[in-house]
Amino acid sequence: MIRVFERWSLDTQLVLGILALSLFGVSMIYSAGQVHVPNAVTQEAWVRQALWFGLALVAFSVLSRVPLRWIEGAAYPSYAVSLALLLLTLAIGEGRGTAAGVRSWLSLGPLSFQPAEVAKLATILALAQLLAPRESGLHSLRDLVKPALVVAVPLMLVMLQPDLGTAVAFVGILFAMLYWAATPVWLLGLVASPVLGLFLSYDTTVWSVYILLVVGGLILLRFRLSLFESVAVVLANFATATISGPLWNSLAEYQRNRILVFLDPEVDPRGAGYQVIQSRVAIGSGGFGGQGFTAGPQKRLDFLPEQHTDFIFAVVGEEFGFVGTALAVLAFGFVLTRLVRMASHLGETQAFAGLVLLGIFGAWMVHVFVNVGMTIGVVPITGIPLPFVSYGGTFLLMSWVAVAIAVRVAHERP
């Protein structure tokens, strides 16, 4: 029996960890539906998630047998198809939930799916195909232009939906894969500096000190960057500071409110701040051992919004306490660490495989960090699901497709 499982899974440790998280997710979605106020959508969500889980296992069984050369050959075509789907979503897409004006879904008869989830995996494959042939690392800003464009195009299309949570995952993909492609950390810091400057531009004094530090760092790196590249970094920081006002005004009202309540939830305790306040109360009431499976009072009274999707971690905290949340975080840590270890065991001839594994790592790392962070109030609410645990058919299916590709590329020798 063990040998049969090993032949099916290809990587016992990774697949067992993800199987456990997926089953845990179905059980928590079931628990999230056990409320005093009848809600057919929430109460039946675990059944739909279980069906998607079964479909995901079938997809894993098939795709984990696909030859590596097929995966490499499909990298650019799948990227092109994903961009077409994102454009189609902007044209005829529809929204879900309470975020008015968001167009993130395409409907095919009775089925709906999120093209952004397809685009994440396609972007990982395309970027891996672009970076794999390089025999040396990326040592200048010019080297980063093409990789950045590969990620920037789908990222901007997702932002236009607008879906900020999913867009952030593309950033994690880019930086994880650039790091694995031997890009120096200082160069990655320069690339990220305009984004940091955007957030610091809320205060003129803080931003002025920051830009002086950037200029000072560029002076220290004068032998590593050309004059053109140094000027480009400074201008990019000024540009992001300049557009911060118009960018803020372009955000939807609910997005601006989410940022404001992140700074102080009590600003709007019955509106935008309600979610994070109730999430903190739920997690805090769980204490050390929790209230018990299906017994969380905040959840049962339906005080916790989106408790089967974005705020599923709050249900875990309320019903299983510190012990349950710690075990969940450790389980994610195990899965993410396993991906890195698989990549580190690959040889130089398997650059494509290593890059794919780190791209998947980057996407999942962002999802876990942001989702857990927003439930406890340390990052703004962005509407990003917890991998394998939150309700979401497309996300679960594409996550298992990513697992299939991960085990295939890691265990097939070129």
Domain span including residue 227: 2-411
Strand ranges, E, within 287-329: none
Q: pLDDT at position 399, please?
A: 95
Q: pLDDT-based confidence at 142, cuts 50/70/90?
A: confident
Q: pLDDT at position 371, please?
A: 92
- What is the tally of structural domains in the chain? 1
Q: pLDDT-based confidence at 268, cuts 50/70/90?
A: low
Residues linked to residue 175 through DSSP beta bridges, in sequence order:
none
Do 278 and 235 meet the contact criterion of CB atoms below 8 Å apart?
no
Reported pTM: 0.90
Listed residue (1, 79, 9, 84) closest to 400, CA to CA? 9
The maximal CA–CA distance of the chain, rounded, in angstroms, is 66
Residue 98: pLDDT above 60? no
pLDDT in tens, 298-321: 877 777 778 888 889 999 999 999
**pLDDT, the chain, mean:** 85
User: What is d(CA 69, CA 129) in angstroms, rounded to the nearest whole number?
Assistant: 11
Q: pLDDT-based confidence at 9, cuts 50/70/90?
A: confident
pLDDT in tens, 361-399: 999 999 999 999 988 888 887 778 999 999 988 899 999
Do 377 and 262 meet the contact criterion of CB atoms below 8 Å apart?
yes
pLDDT in tens, 64-87: 999 999 999 999 999 999 999 999
